[in-house]
Structure 1
Amino acid sequence: MTGKEILQKMKVKVGLGTSVPETGKGKGKTSKHITHGFHLMKGKSAHPMEDYLVSEFKKDKDKELGLFAIFDGHLGHDVASYLQNHLFQNILKQNDFWTETEIAVKRAYLETDEKILEQSLVLGRGGSTAVTAILIDGQKLVIANVGDSRAVVCENGKARQLSIDHEPSKEKKYIERRGGFVSNLPGDVPRVDGQLAVARAFGDKSLKMHLSSEPDVVVQDVDQHIEFLILASDGIWKVMSNQEAVDSIRQIKDAQAAAERLIEEAVSKKSKDDISCIVVKFQ
């Protein structure tokens, strides 16, 4: 057996699957007025697609859960693929998820990162950002993120960001306390150790001493004022403001059509990155 074949068998063993289809939609079974749609588009870079996502409903005990996530990989797609297969599983198996939700989600993120680092021989030296949303019985959103993929809700027509962009310039003191530095070269974005343009991420073993994988977590009630949720990778947010994204799809009732439109708008504004997005419509 060749080295390449051995590596492939190891990848299968740790649960690296193929990417999701490029587009799709669905709706809740008990919350039938809630629909979701997703769309992905490969960017202009030479490397393979590095974005992965989850967009589905499932039953957990007596609860209906909407599970939505964007994973934006870098230096390879294997870490993002691993997250697609394992992160929600690790979150929901936390014993205190229903009682101490924010603590449980943070712990699951950190434990997942530890597992990724342990398997760096298989998963490679790359990493991934993540933004996740768990919709509980159509009434409560649990948002968590590391990196610069973003969660935005439309509330009475106004965009409101629920996630936090983890930019190196904002976390410079933390990075320097851990022995790293933030470069700020002319014509480039700030980077951790001159390499990574986000201050928090899964994986990235060579930089992990200077990076955090602890997520910010927000719990948001879904009332009659929340119209829809957007989760998207930075291929959208580099070229569109939160309000521009909301305005571009507010009048589109079909969630999948809205997700496709959002990516079309980003491409028309010269986005060259891989792009993935999920739209969850509440009304």
Structure 2
Amino acid sequence: MDVGSSGMRVCSSLGCLGLNPLGGLGKVVGGRSSFSSGKGRSHQGPVKYGFTLVKGKANHPMEDYHVAKFVLLQGHELGLFAIYDGHLGDSVPAYLQKHLFSNILKDEEFWTDPNQSISKAYEKTDQAILSHSPDLGRGGSTAVTAILIDGQKLWVANIGDSRAVLSKNGQAIQMSIDHEPNIERGSIENRGGFVSNMPGDVARVNGQLAVARAFGDKNLKSHLRSDPDVRNADIDSDTELLILASDGLWKVMSNQEAVDIAKKTKDPLRAAKQLAVEALNRDSKDDISCIVVRFKG
């Protein structure tokens, strides 16, 4: 996420990516290494996933975290995928990695009204973060989450500018909404805040934050929203893959360009790596996190 910082380049090429072994299923990532990747698959169907996280040029520690795993719950197999892009520290995305999905899935209405359960859990988790702010600090995080139910139904939610893109018959379909300050200027101003548009810079809430919705950010919270946009899709024979990524990818690549790169290989880990490499080649300066979920072989 863009908070206006810059610094040394840590990983900048395929060579950097090649120096590291593959991580395992559901590997915990963030704050300590410049690179991590891994892969996994459904135990009940053809769905496979791969993920890659690469530290950006900024001189702070890695602030992106992820979730990518399959779990069994009440007789159903759930694919849980998320990108959490932190700012002003990694404590909030680390908290989300540990708690957000559990808050969604333990809601008693999840199986009958996933939309409502996801929305409630996002708000509940944000309130918990704010109540723990002395421990978690003043930072915040975006989130994009995807829950795949029995390989057939997909629920995507997001706040901020981490994005989910679905490919159907090779065509990119954006499943999330980028919450940019200029787009939500009315809401921000109604809450007593303002949006700055300095020459050569992106729009920022109160001159600070480049997204209009986020978890945490206690000092700005009165001017920010933390309710997610939630969408769903049926996974049919025309649905090829899902890409979740932080804005380190989307700042330099269109939805269709990402889909065109990812669909060239049936290996989702290789696809995620190729997306990260291309973002680096296009001089992306932010942390780059990418999950590719492939729905068929």
TM-score calculated relative to the size of structure 1? 0.93
| Pairing partner for 2:44 from 2, 26, 30 | 30
Q: Which has the higher helix share?
A: 1
TM superposition shift of 1:94? 0.6
Q: CA contact under 8 A between 1:146 and 1:216: conserved in structure 2? A: yes
Runs of 4+ displaced beyond 6 Å:
none
Deviations 1:15-68 (A, max 9, x none): xx962671000000012x100000000001100000000000000011000000
CA distance in structure 2 between the aligned counterparts of 1:19 and 1:267, rounded to whole angstroms? 19
**Alignment partner of 1:141: what SS?**
strand
Counterpart in 2 of 1:6? none
Give the whole-Å Cα distance in 1 for the aligned partners of 2:196 and 2:40: 43
Match of 1:210 among 223, 226, 229: 223
Q: Show the counterpart of 1:44.
A: 57
Aligned to 2:245: 232
How many matched pairs?
266
Q: Deviations over 1:91-125 (max 9, x none)?
A: 00111011111111000000000000000000000
1:176 pairs, out of 185, 189, 209, with 189
In the other structure, the counterpart of 1:162 is 175
Structure 1 residue runs without a partner (length 5+) = 1-16
Q: Give, as a single letter, the amino acid of the residue that structure 2 aligns with 1:49.
A: M
Secondary structure (helix, strand or coil) at the match of 2:231 reads: strand
Partner residue in 2 for 1:84: 97
Which whole-Å deviations, capped at 9, do the CAs of 1:178-225 have from their partners, x for residues lacking one?
A: 100111111111100110000000000000000000000001110111
Correspondence for 1:123: 136
- Secondary structure of the residue aligned to 2:184 is helix
> Is 1:109 the counterpart of 2:122 in the alignment?
yes
Instruction: Between 145-154 and 247-256, report the one with greater CA deviation.
Output: 247-256
Q: Is the 8 A contact 2:203 2:210 kept in 1?
A: yes
Cα distance in 2 for partners of 1:209, 1:86 equals: 23
1:68 matched residue in structure 2:
81
Q: Percent same amino acid at aligned positions? A: 61
Write the letter of the residue equivalent to 2:246.
S
1:18, 1:81 within 8 Å by CA — same for their partners in 2? no
Give, as a single letter, the amino acid of the residue that structure 1 aligns with 2:88.
Answer: L
Could you say what secondary structure the match of 2:166 adopts?
strand
Residue pair 2:28, 2:66 contacting (<8 A) in 1 also: no
2-structure distance, mates of 1:19, 1:156: 32
* 3-state SS in 2 of match to 1:206: coil
Q: What amino acid is the match of 2:40?
A: G
Give the structure 1 partner of residue 22 of structure 2. none
The corresponding residue for 1:10 is none
Residue 67 (structure 2) aligned to one of 48, 51, 54: 54
SS at match of 2:142: strand
- Superposition CA RMSD, Å: 1.1
Q: 2:29 maps to what in 1?
A: 19
The gaps in structure 2 that reach 5 residues or longer are: 1-26
Amino acid of the structure 1 residue aligned with 2:161: D
Q: CA deviation at 1:150?
A: 0.2
> Are positions 1:280 and 2:293 aligned together?
yes
Equivalent position amino acid for 1:129 in 2: T
1:132 is aligned to 145
Using the alignment, how far apart are the partners of 2:262 and 2:215 within structure 1?
31
Structure 2: which amino acid aligns with 1:261?
Q
Counterpart for residue 148 of structure 1: 161
